[in-house]
A = this chain, B = another copy of it.
Amino acid sequence: MADRDWPGCARALKAVVLDLCGVLYESGEGDTVAIPGSVEAVNRLKSSDLQLRFCTNETQACRDKFVAKLQVAGFDISVSEVFSPAPAAVSVLKERGLRPHLLVHDGLLPEFDSLDKTDPNCVVIGDAAEKFSYQNLNDAFRVLIGLEKPVLFSLGQGRYYKETNGLTLDVGVYMKALEYACDLEAEVIGKPSPMFFQSVLNDMGLQPHEVLMIGDDLVNDVGGAQHCGMKGVQVRTGKYSFAENVNTISPWKQFLVQPAQPLFSPPWSF
């Protein structure tokens, strides 16, 4: 999809799905600070004829908590518009009668309150950050290796993300660690899982080609969306600014829509 396809392509759109971290704000300690122009961009989208949803792999906090922070930062956003991996994982676990051993951030634990966690028969990992200690990873490993049929769920598969103090390892790195330790393949819940994108499409009652995904991650946002038939565009904020200098994205260059534009610049003037 070349630049000349705009704005014809934009006119055919019926919805936009936005990633959060790196698109609306930069991750970091302390208060959530909006990326300049992003609050206004969300307002413009909301006042247009387009449907709007938010699709994140955020797993350090419950959905109501991080949505509240975004509201404080000035965003017009509600919990029902936000799709994140933890509620999706709870649904899958309940359907399959699984009892998880959780290796997730303390802030995410309440999402799993409704599940039985005694005598675990699977492991769920999220972006646990400092809780990814040697001891905790070993505990998760021992649960898996002790199961006849080990089942590992990973809430996303990101390599790293950008915090205010630099790049930071994401859950996918620890997913790969446990996959190797136990010789298994994790089930990914969240972007870029097609099932996850489909749940957003179902909620809006739209076909993939009618929807544009905007994110800062070529693999999980842009690639994942395009794999489902959606359009995908990468912003130049968040981890984008590092991407040109690293060799992590080479397999995904095919997915790059050129030129990628910041959210608050054309072609985002819907």
Contacts and interface: CB of A to CB of B under 8 A. Distances in A.
A167 B182 contact: no
A75 interface: no
Given A160-B181, A183-B250, A141 B167 contact: yes
A168 B246 contact: no
A176 B186 CA distance: 14
Contact of A169 (B130, B137, B176): B137
Nearest to A163: B138
A99 interface: no
A66 interface: no
A129 interface: yes
Residue among A135, A160, A242 with most chain B CB within 10 A: A160
Contacts of A182: 159, 246-248
**Taking chain A's interface residues, is the majority helix, strand, or loop, or is none over half, making it mixed?**
helix
Contacts of A166: 142
Contact of A174 (B131, B177, B249): B177
Contacts of A135: 130
Pick the 9 closest A-B CB pairs, nearest first: A176-B180, A183-B248, A177-B177, A132-B134, A173-B177, A173-B181, A159-B181, A176-B176, A130-B134
Interface of A: 128-135, 137-138, 141-142, 145, 150, 159-160, 166-169, 172-174, 176-184, 242, 246-251
Given A137-B173, A183-B247, 14 more contacts: A131-B134, A138-B169, A141-B173, A145-B248, A159-B183, A169-B177, A173-B178, A176-B179, A176-B180, A177-B177, A181-B248, A182-B247, A183-B246, A183-B251
30 contacts: A129-B134, A130-B135, A131-B134, A132-B134, A132-B137, A133-B134, A134-B169, A137-B173, A138-B168, A138-B169, A141-B169, A142-B166, A145-B160, A145-B242, A145-B246, A150-B247, A159-B182, A172-B180, A173-B178, A173-B181, A176-B176, A176-B177, A176-B179, A177-B177, A181-B248, A182-B246, A183-B247, A183-B248, A183-B249, A183-B250
